[in-house]
């Protein structure tokens, strides 16, 4: 017996909503109550529903479209990743569609609805965690995806080891003779996406422990809205001070505050950042280089290759980190 193809009416009946609500979930998911949207998506998953409009959209758009799901896309490190992605996609006449994530709810909306909407041919997911349900939905809808900064065994992934990076930065300062080493993390606690700060802090603590150096907890700030505040009130007997800032933006803020306070860099205050964004060189910042552009390029190349041959082996790539020495240490 031939199984009937599920219709929008079947989805509405299964989810207990109107067909208009199903239609809005497919076309304008942000306008649907999250609980209702989840019920509709679950019904679509259960029935293996593919709407006629979304299937037609997938078949008709030219050139092929690659979605990039990315948070904080205006920040320098994410901009550099996008630059790497865009360079590869343009070479293959592929259109890049950016899905910027600003809230946890928006993150969930995209991850719930993009697989079934069929408006993109492939997806690059940057700094987002995939739960088992989302991972399965991507696979069942056969949406080829590559993930940056998160490991999922079912998809090709590109990562760095943030713990190793934290150790690398801290050991570099220790090798330079510093014993009082502060840690400054992010500007605020993230409410969604990947959080590398806690892993970089773990690397800092591990390096200090291995060097048998005591961690002054008053100098450890996992999150600090004003990173330069650590410098205010320092007395001469507390100098020199070395600071490992878990992002280059935090490190640059510290360098600027040091100059405002008349502190010499690196004689009074030495600073190491993390990321090696473009502006790090301009500020003479010693930093941990992670291949931002390259991570985007690799992700895009893998995705293009998998679109041509979906049966090829899944790849899990860890990119190397290195210290870039400049004038701040």
Per-residue pLDDT of the chain (329 residues; tens, 9 = 90+): 445 677 777 878 888 887 777 777 776 677 788 788 878 777 777 776 766 545 555 555 556 889 999 987 678 898 999 999 999 999 999 999 998 888 777 788 888 888 877 789 999 999 988 889 889 889 988 899 999 999 999 999 999 999 999 999 999 999 999 999 999 997 766 666 788 999 999 999 999 999 999 999 999 998 866 777 888 877 787 889 999 999 999 999 999 999 999 999 999 999 999 999 999 999 999 999 999 999 999 999 999 999 999 888 999 999 999 999 999 99
To which H or E segment does residue 169 belong? helix 162-175
CB of 51 within 8 A of CB of 8?
Answer: yes
Round to whole Å and give the CA distance between 252 and 256. 6
Nearest to 200 by CA among 251, 267, 269, 240: 251
Round to whole Å and give the CA distance between 162 and 112. 28
Task: Please tell me what DSSP assigns to residue 4.
Answer: P
pLDDT for res 2: 47
3 state SS of 276: coil
Round to whole Å and give the CA distance between 194 and 71. 10
Cα-based distances in Å from 150 to 49, 104, 143, 156, 299: 28, 17, 17, 10, 12
Angle, helix 34-47 to helix 8-15, in steps of 10 degrees: 120
Round to whole Å and give the CA distance between 75 and 163. 22
Q: Which pairs count as long-range contacts for 188-195, CB under 8 Å and 24+ apart, including other chains?
A: 188/223, 188/225, 189/223, 191/103, 191/104, 192/71, 192/101, 192/103, 192/104, 192/107, 192/128, 193/71, 193/72, 193/101, 193/107, 193/127, 193/128, 193/129, 194/127, 194/128, 194/129, 194/149, 194/150
Nearest to 167 by CA among 146, 181, 155, 153: 181
pLDDT for res 60: 53
- Residues 6 or more apart whose CB falls under 8 angstroms from that of 261 comprise 231, 232
Domains and CATH numbers, the chain: 8-47+60-159+295-319 (3.40.50.2300), 162-289 (3.40.50.2300)
Angle, helix 162-175 to helix 197-210, in steps of 10 degrees: 40
Round to whole Å and give the CA distance between 25 and 33. 9
Q: Is 36 exposed, middle or buried (0-12, 13-18, 19+ CB in 10 A)?
A: middle
């Amino acid at each position: 017996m031939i199984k009937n193809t599920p219709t929008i009416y079947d989805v509405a009946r299964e989810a207990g909503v109107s067909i208009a609500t199903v239609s809005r979930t497919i076309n304008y998911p942000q306008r649907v109550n999250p609980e209702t949207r989840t019920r509709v998506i679950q019904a679509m998953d259960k029935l293996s529903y593919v709407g006629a409009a979304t299937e037609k959209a997938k078949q008709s758009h030219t050139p092929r479209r690659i979605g990039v799901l990315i948070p904080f896309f205006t920040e320098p490190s994410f901009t550099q990743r996008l630059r790497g992605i865009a360079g590869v996609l343009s070479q293959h006449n592929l259109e890049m569609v950016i899905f910027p994530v600003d809230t946890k709810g928006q993150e969930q909306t995209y991850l719930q609805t993009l697989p079934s909407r069929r408006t993109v041919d492939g997806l690059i997911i940057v700094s987002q965690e995939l739960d088992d349900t989302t991972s399965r939905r991507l696979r069942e809808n056969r949406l080829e995806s590559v993930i940056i900064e998160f490991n999922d065994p079912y998809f090709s992934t590109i990562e760095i080891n943030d713990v190793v990076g934290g150790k690398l930065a801290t050991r570099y300062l220790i090798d330079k003779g510093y014993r009082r080493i502060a840690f400054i993390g992010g500007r605020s606690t993230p409410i969604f996406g990947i959080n590398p700060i806690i892993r970089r802090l773990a690397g800092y603590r591990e390096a200090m422990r291995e060097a048998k150096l005591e961690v002054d907890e008053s100098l450890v700030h996992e999150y600090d809205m004003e990173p330069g505040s650590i410098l205010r009130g320092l007395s001469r007997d507390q100098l020199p001070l070395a600071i490992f800032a878990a992002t280059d933006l935090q490190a640059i803020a510290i360098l600027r505050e040091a100059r405002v306070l008349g502190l010499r860099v690196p004689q009074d205050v030495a600073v190491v950042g993390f990321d090696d964004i473009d502006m790090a060189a301009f500020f003479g910042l010693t930093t941990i280089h992670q291949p931002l552009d390259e991570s985007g390029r690799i992700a895009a190349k893998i995705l293009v290759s998998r679109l041509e041959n979906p049966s090829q082996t899944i790849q899990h790539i860890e990119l190397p980190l290195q210290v870039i020495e400049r004038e701040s240490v």
